[in-house]
Amino acid sequence: MSEPQSAFAVYKQQLKSQTKKKHKPKKSSQKIKNKALIVEKRDSVTMEADGNSGSDEDIPQLVPIEDSWIESSFIQENGGIQKKENGVTSRKRSLKHKSKSKPQKKKKKTFSNGEHNYISKSSEISTNHTNFDEKAKTIFEWLIAPIKASDFFETYWEKKPLIIKRGSNIYRHILSTEQLDLMLRENSLFFTKNVDVVQYKDGKKENFNTEGRAYASNLWSFYSDGCSIRILNPHTYNSKIHQLLAALQEYFGTMAGANIYLTPPGSQGFAPHYDDIEAFVIQLEGRKHWKLYGPRNSSDILPRYSSENFDPKDLTSPVKEITLEAGDLLYFPRGVIHEGHTDDDSHSLHMTVSVYQRTSYADLLEHGLKAAIKIATEEDPEYRKGLPINYLKHVGAVNSESVSQIRNSIIQTINHLTEKLVNYIPIDAAADQLGKQFMWDALPPVLSKQEKECSVHGNGEQLKKGTVSNRVEIDLDVDIRLIRYYGLRLVMEEDAKINVYYSVENAKVYHDEEMQYLEIQENYAPAIEHLLLNYPFFVKVSELPFEDDTTKVEFVTIFWERGLLVTSKPLPSVE
C-alpha cells in the first residue's frame, strides 16, 4: 500500500490537473544535496457606547518584563476580567522546582486541524516558550476590554462603531508627548516619509511638509501655529507599538499598521473622510471630539479604497458626536466618515491602529477569477469558440440600446460561461496569493528572549576577540517549530515553482525591503506543511516527512539559518 499523500501534494496535483501542465519543473543539472535553492530576488450606521472598566490594575500595562510587554495575561469571563498565570510566571516556577520534581514521561498529544487529527510524538509547547497565539489573543482582549472578543466580532466588527469609555488611562505606557519629543530627537524622521504637518481650517486642508529631516523644534513651531503632526510607521522607533502590531498581525492574520496624531488645542488636522481599514482609535493623552457620519450610499459601506476629502456641506448631520479622553477607545469599520477636533483647552495625542486592508472576498476573487478564466480556457473548448461574425455591430457602447438576435445570443452565452466559471476558481491558489502579499506587507515578528536564545537570532556561532566559538549543529533529536504561523507562506506559482515567502527579514518601514522568499525543491513542501499543521507545537527533526535522515537535518539547518525556525532549547555548542 502506498504512503498517504500530504495535503500539499494533493493540492499540487489538483492545480496541475486544472491547469493541464504538460511540463515538469526543470531540475538543475548540478547535483544538489537536498538544499533549498535560494533566489536572491527580493523582489445606516448605529453607534453604541459600552460601560467603564475598572481601575488601572484591572488591565495589563505595557511594561516590558523579560521581553514581554504585559505583566500578566487576562481572560474575560461572564463580562468580567479574571487573572490567570502568564507564561513568564509559570515558566519561572517550573524552572525553580525543576531539580526537585520527578521526570515525567511525555504524553502524545492529538490536536485537530480542519477535518484531520494530527499526532506529533514530541508535541509539547515547551516550558521555555510562550504560546504566541494565546499571547496575541490576550493582547487583543486587553485592547478592547471589558468587551469580550466574541461579542465584539458578533456585534461590531464590520457593522458599527464601538466606543469604550474607561475613566482611566490604561494606554499611558504606549507613548507620551515627552516620549514623542525624544523619538524625534534621537532618530532621523523625514517629512512625508515619516512625518506630515497638516491643518484643516475654513473647509480647507493644507499640508506644510518641507524637505529633509523633521527636527523636533521645527515641528513644535508648526504645532504652536495650530498644525497637527502625523507620525507614520511609529513602530519603527517605539518597541511597544511594534509589539502591539506584531501581536495583532498574528491574531487577525493580516497586516497591522499604526499612525500617531498630535493635535494642538482648538485645532483640526484632517477633513471629513473615510478609510479603507478597520480602525481602532486609542486615546493616549488629552481629549478629542469626534463626529461620525452615516454612509451616503451603499458604496460607502466597507469600501476597498479610502475616500477623497469631503466638503461638510455635502454631508448630513453626524449620527454620533463623542469625546475621547485618555484611556478611551473608538472602533469603527472601514467606510465610516469621520472627523476629529480639539477644544480650546486641551491637546490630543492618539494612535490609530489599522487592520484588514485589502482582505475582502473581492480581493480573493480578484486573484481567483483571473486564474479561473485561464484554467477554463485551457480545459473547456466552449470558452475558446469564436464570437459571432460582425459582433461589433451588435455590442459596444454605440449598440447598447439595440435589439438583435445576435446581441441576445452573446449575452446569453456570456451568462452561461460565467455560471460555469465558478467551477474553475482555484480558491486555495488565490488565497496563497493574498498570503504572499501579506508576507511582504507584514512587520517582522517581535521575538521573546527565549525565542532569540533558541534561534539564529541569538544562538549559534559567536565572534570573540577574533575567534569563532559556540559552533552548533542540528541533529535528529532536536525539537523545532516555526518562529510564527504567519512567519511564512508556501506558494506554488503558475510556472510550477514552489516558493516560501517570509516576513522575518522585512523592514519596519512598509515595503522598505523587496519581497523575501526561498525557491525550494518539491520534496521540501510536505515538511513545511508538517510544521504549519503542528504549530504551535514542537516536533522532532526525526519526525519530518523525508526518506533519509540527512535530508531532514539539511532541511532544518537551511530554515533555521534563515531565522524561520526556533528550537525548544538553545542548541548546545559542539566544541
- SS percent in the chain: helix, strand, coil, step 5: 35, 20, 45
Burial of 315 (C-beta count, 10 Å sphere; 0-12/13-18/19+): middle
Q: How many angstroms separate the CA atoms of 503 and 507, rounded?
A: 9
- Domain 7-31+428-567 belongs to what topology? Outer Surface Protein A; domain 3 (3.90.930)
DSSP per residue, 499-547: EEEE-TT--SSTT-SPPPEEEE-GGGHHHHHHHHHHTTS-EEGGGSS-S
49 vs 392, higher pLDDT: 392
Q: How many angstroms separate the CA atoms of 280 and 49, rounded?
A: 14
For the segment 518-527, the average pLDDT, to the nearest whole number, is 96
> Would you state the pLDDT for residue 57?
32
Q: How many angstroms separate the CA atoms of 123 and 474, rounded?
A: 18
- Are 488 and 439 in contact by the 8 Å Cβ rule? The answer is yes
For the segment 411-420, the average pLDDT, to the nearest whole number, is 98
Closest CA to 314 of 360, 268, 271, 277: 271
Closest CA to 214 of 189, 234, 235: 189
Confidence band, pLDDT 50/70/90 cuts, at residue 13:
low
Q: Over the stretch 249-308, which tens digit does the pLDDT of each residue have? A: 999 999 999 999 999 999 999 999 999 999 999 999 999 999 999 999 999 999 999 999
HEC letters along 101-121: CCCCCCCCEEEEECCEEEEEC
Q: In whole angstroms, how far apart are CA 309 and each of 39, 101, 341?
A: 43, 65, 15
- By residue count, the chain amounts to 575
Q: Over the stretch 355-412, which tens digit does the pLDDT of each residue have? A: 999 999 999 999 999 999 999 999 999 999 999 999 999 999 999 999 999 999 999 9
Please report, as a single letter, which amino acid is at residue 547: E
Q: How many CB atoms lie within 10 A of CB 557?
A: 16
> Would you state the pLDDT for residue 450?
94
For the segment 200-225, the average pLDDT, to the nearest whole number, is 97
Q: Is the pLDDT of residue 106 over 60?
A: no
Q: Domain spans of the chain? A: 7-31+428-567, 48-96+103-154, 158-355, 361-425
Lowest mean pLDDT among 167-171, 184-188, 532-536: 167-171
> Would you state the pLDDT for residue 7?
61
Q: How many CB atoms lie within 10 A of CB 5?
A: 12
Whole-number average pLDDT of the chain: 84
Name the phi and psi angles at 483, rounded to 5: -65, -40
User: What whole-number percentage of the chain has pLDDT above 90?
Assistant: 76
- Are 529 and 8 in contact by the 8 Å Cβ rule? The answer is yes
Q: Is the pLDDT of residue 9 over 80?
A: no
> Would you state the pLDDT for residue 34?
35
Q: What does the block give as the cell for 35?
A: 538544499
> Would you state the pLDDT for residue 18?
54
Confidence band, pLDDT 50/70/90 cuts, at residue 575:
confident
State the angle between helix axes of 427-441 and 361-379 in degrees (0 to 180), rounded to the nearest 10: 130
Please report, as a single letter, which amino acid is at residue 155: T
Lowest mean pLDDT among 71-85, 106-120, 487-501, 555-569: 71-85
- Domain 361-425 belongs to what topology? Arc Repressor Mutant, subunit A (1.10.10)
Residues 6+ apart with CB under 8 A from 137: 149, 251
Closest CA to 214 of 178, 181, 236, 179: 181
Q: What does the block give as the cell for 548?
A: 533519509
Pairing verdict, β 337-341 and 517-520:
unpaired
**Total-model pTM:** 0.81
- Domain 158-355 belongs to what topology? Jelly Rolls (2.60.120)
Q: E strand or H helix at 256, and its extent? A: strand 256-263
Q: Is the pLDDT of residue 195 over 60?
A: yes
- The residues with which 397 forms a beta bridge, in sequence order, are none
Q: Is the pLDDT of residue 240 over 60?
A: yes
- List, in sequence order, every beta strand (DSSP E) within 47-108: 48-50, 73-77, 80-84
Alpha helices in 348-424 (DSSP H): 361-379, 405-421
Confidence band, pLDDT 50/70/90 cuts, at residue 10:
low
Lowest mean pLDDT among 120-124, 193-197, 527-531: 120-124
